[in-house]
Chain A
Amino acid sequence: MKFAVIQFPGSNCDQDCVAAINGIAGLNAEYIWHKETSLDDFDAIVLPGGFAYGDYLRCGAIARFSPIMRAVTSDARAGKLVLGTCNGFQILCEAGLLPGALVRNRSLRFVCDMVTTRVEVDDSPFTHGCQKGSLLRLPIAHGEGCFFANAKTLRDLNDNRQVILRYADSRGRIVPESNPNGSIENIAGICNRERNVFGLMPHPDRASDARLGSADGAKIFRSMMQTISANSAISERTKQVA
């Protein structure tokens, strides 16, 4: 199963993503330069963290016009799994593939820490390997990770169960003290309405090996793998029936 990891000028977690994905038996990751125009050969797409285009203007504002983003958008619309971590999440929001926006941390500080997130949705293509309410320990490193959405968008996100992860304390409580950046309702990660595009500020790529302090991030990549193989099994069966 092949995952594409997009490299923008200024991406700096591309190697972390490739290493994390390749560390899972059955997955194979490849770098794709942002000037490429097709992702047909891939089963899933990952937009890594970093500072694409130096975060000039706004985080992700310029990266979202990179040539590869046409393929990311059309493949996302066609149902392919797309994961954006950190800067990748910002790019997905700027591209309109996810609702809301990520703004300057409320503290005005760049935060670099290990945080606890609570799994709010256990039947998404990205988290069905996790129990609802279970906790994932993941690192964060960002200056603009404060999730913002207007009242209507926020209502839609909650009504459609699009909030996948929230920042929680070690006992799983969603409290202001566990919110590292001022995100509205402690939101750490959301998916689109169709549930095939997922963006999160924490780095599952930097927490996919127990030697790095946590292997919880691997659960996300593994869930993606299971989703893809289940989907391809279904489409094989439909082909046979046809």
Chain B
Amino acid sequence: MKAKVLVMPKAAVLDPQGNAVRDAMRHLGMPEVRSVRIGKYMEIDIDGENGELEPRLHSLCRDLLSNPVIEDYELLKEKPAKRKRNK
């Protein structure tokens, strides 16, 4: 199974990095940019496909991959690729 985890700072948490990038984008010819938020994206390769992996993955997203005090996470699962039958 392949999982993708998106971790973003909560709205109430100041994101100075995002603000610096926003300002740079405005300076570089895009004054329309209203805001930039910078988070983290992780790709995780996991042995197995079964359903009990998911609750364990969620619990690790809460305990390790994100800090719920300052961040929200989203777990995106990639569907397993279809195997070619003729091989």
Q: Which residues of chain A have a CB within 8 Å of any CB of chain B?
A: 57-58, 61-62, 65, 93-94, 99-101, 103-108, 146, 148-150, 182
Contact = CB atoms under 8 A, between A and B. Distances in A.
Sorting the interface of chain B by its residue count into under 10, 10 to 19, 20 to 34 or 35 or more gives 10 to 19
Nearest to A61: B64
Contacts of B65: 57
A104 B64 contact: no
A104 B70 contact: no
Contacts of B70: 101, 103, 148
Given A108-B16, A149-B69, 18 more contacts: A57-B65, A61-B64, A65-B64, A94-B67, A101-B67, A101-B70, A103-B9, A103-B14, A104-B16, A105-B16, A107-B16, A108-B20, A146-B14, A148-B13, A148-B14, A148-B69, A148-B70, A150-B12
Interface of B: 9, 12-14, 16-17, 20, 64-65, 67, 69-70
Contacts of B13: 103, 148
B12 A106 contact: no
A193 B66 CA distance: 24
Contacts of B12: 150
Contact of A108 (B9, B17, B64): B17
A58 B67 CA distance: 8
Contacts of B69: 93, 99-101, 148-150
B64 A57 contact: yes
B14 A182 contact: yes
What are the 8 closest A-B residue pairs judged by CB atoms, nearest first? A101-B69, A101-B70, A108-B16, A106-B16, A101-B67, A148-B13, A58-B67, A104-B16
